[in-house]
Chains A and B, each alone.
Chain A
């Protein structure tokens, strides 16, 4: 057996060896995962999507909302690469790997959310090229399948190649990896653009059929993804010996400030156009922000999100609050929650309200939908945890293989 395969399994063993708090954390994650699985296989699989609150009027709901938000996270995690390579900013360069692992995790979660939203998941192969009947290039959903899986492949390759090279103590071949990293930048933009176009291209839904949608998607992704990463970086350096430079964190925080500025500006542009024109196409945005004909399920949520986003903008913008970890973390949490609402339910549901025949059906997810979704989120957390557990000993240099004879530093655990 080639040495690198043996070494892979030795490294893989790391995920089973950990401290008590590691086991506790994994055990803690298994509870919602099992609950989610039980709900999916116990309720949704045998009864169908009727166990959700989705109906013909609002035919996409909580699952697709989560999917949309996570595409943004996946895209933005890699967009950290931009400052690292464009400005050759070393502190960020060192942590690109964590962003890539996040991208892998987020894409896996996206795929899970798509699968649980399907009426016939066992027919998923129908969408594949060659063996199925992929409607390419006509269907934007076909495009999405291609770009998401391509993105998963690129990031997996880069991350595991870098880890492999690190593990043998050799420097990785920049001429091989740099083109891929450079490619991953427009690709990250593309996954979010294609996902935006998926909504954007539907003339039937004026709320989505606005050219500003894709730019807004990107701007908001630039906020939520990096904010999530800042929070995770602090956890990573706390629970491991990985060194993450404060300067990297503050630089990313600064970038979020700009992204949020653009995001709020684009939102303002959209709000102005819809409300000032006041055409019948403003009904959905009216439903979202003010309520329509007495229906206002989303109104408190979207205002909550708006307040969070605006407060976070200032916290990120002012150097003093940006460089203070208490206010910085507050801002990050605000952004993650704010964008989760805005680019999740706040984007998907109003597209369907009122529906194309003017009917208003108020959607709010059932307990089943929520339980299954929490299960997916917990699975994502588990995937990221395991990826880190695998990668960290190599990253920090604790685990090194001589080219042929595997050796393990006894300190690893």
Chain B
């Protein structure tokens, strides 16, 4: 694959030395322009790219920022459970996610949407939901809540639709995006049935002190403008044996997370013993995100 890259690099440079970016400072611009697809990089190449990105981010935010490339752990397939009988609609998950995953705050980007439904009214088509509810206090007696984020489909329509293979499903089941490969066509957003994908319409804005310095290449590293991003089950945490931020922060324990391949995991227990369903199952996307009711109310 190095051949391919060298070829276009040479071809571009041969275009009459029009090299627009010049000098040392701009070498990184070229590097990033010719950067190959993440899945085609070998270890040394990954190392070089990570070093370049770490330098770039650290200079931009004036603090040390690490970019991990931890691989999927063999024998792990991540699954998520969300207990609708517990969720109180407080949106702490939404904000914990933003804190953890370095989303832009201006313009605002959030990976989790919490939908509010009136009890006793139809909710199958989600159309009667309210995303911007803003009461003085939650939970409200007459409503119930359903948080939605990337469902990490086993059969993801977004991956199928991406024209450049910039988004794919990792061996541990997490659907990721290479922000350096995404061309920003947004076909995946049209394809996603769960409204889980976000586009950086403008330059992501976030104060340096708000940046979470521990990042992963396929997850929460700072994103450029004009690319798509989404929930990765906090890949930078989950691949290091930690819970995603939303699981950790949930004050009522509505969020469960674990290894679907481990018969003794909590997620397996709830799938086997609770009344679970998945969103829009008719589309056969096969989400690894299970909604369930731990108790009736």
Partner of A123, one of B113, B165, B183, B203: B183
Chain A facing B: main interface SS: loop
Q: Which residue of A lies closest to B225 (CB)?
A: A48
Residues in B with CB closer than 8 Å to A358 are: 115, 125-129
Question: How far apart are A391's CB and chain B's nearest CB, in angstroms?
Answer: 30
**A 99-128 contacts with B by CB, 8 A:** 114, 117-127
The reply to whether the CB of A283 lies closer than 8 angstroms to some CB of chain B is yes
> Is B202's CB under 8 angstroms from A356's CB?
no
Distance of A51 Cα from B107 Cα, bound (Å): 12
Residues in B with CB closer than 8 Å to A118 are: 183-185, 226
Chain B facing A: main interface SS: loop
> Is B195's CB under 8 angstroms from A48's CB?
no
Question: How far apart are A312's CB and chain B's nearest CB, in angstroms?
Answer: 31
The reply to whether the CB of A218 lies closer than 8 angstroms to some CB of chain B is no
The reply to whether the CB of B261 lies closer than 8 angstroms to some CB of chain A is no
> Is B107's CB under 8 angstroms from A50's CB?
yes
> Is B183's CB under 8 angstroms from A283's CB?
no
**A 121-138 contacts with B by CB, 8 A:** 121-127, 130-135, 138
Q: Which residue of B lies closest to A138 (CB)?
A: B160
> Is A134's CB under 8 angstroms from B225's CB?
no
Partner of B192, one of A49, A141, A204: A204
> Is A126's CB under 8 angstroms from B183's CB?
yes
16 extra A-B contacts, CB within 8 A, seeds A48-B203, A357-B148, A358-B127: A48-B200, A56-B199, A114-B185, A117-B185, A120-B183, A126-B181, A127-B163, A133-B165, A133-B181, A134-B164, A141-B185, A142-B163, A203-B193, A283-B125, A356-B193, A356-B195
Q: Which 5 A-B pairs give the minimum distances between C-beta atoms?
A: A119-B184, A119-B226, A50-B202, A204-B193, A280-B125
User: Would you list 28 pairs from A and B whose C-beta atoms are within 8 A, ordered by A residue?
Assistant: A47-B203, A49-B202, A55-B201, A56-B195, A57-B195, A59-B189, A59-B199, A118-B184, A119-B185, A119-B226, A120-B184, A123-B164, A123-B183, A123-B184, A131-B7, A133-B165, A141-B161, A141-B162, A198-B187, A199-B190, A202-B161, A203-B284, A204-B157, A204-B283, A280-B124, A356-B194, A357-B113, A357-B195
- Show the binding face of A for B, using Cβ within 8 Å: 47-50, 52, 54-57, 59-60, 114, 117-127, 130-135, 138-142, 145, 198-199, 201-205, 280, 283, 351-352, 354-359
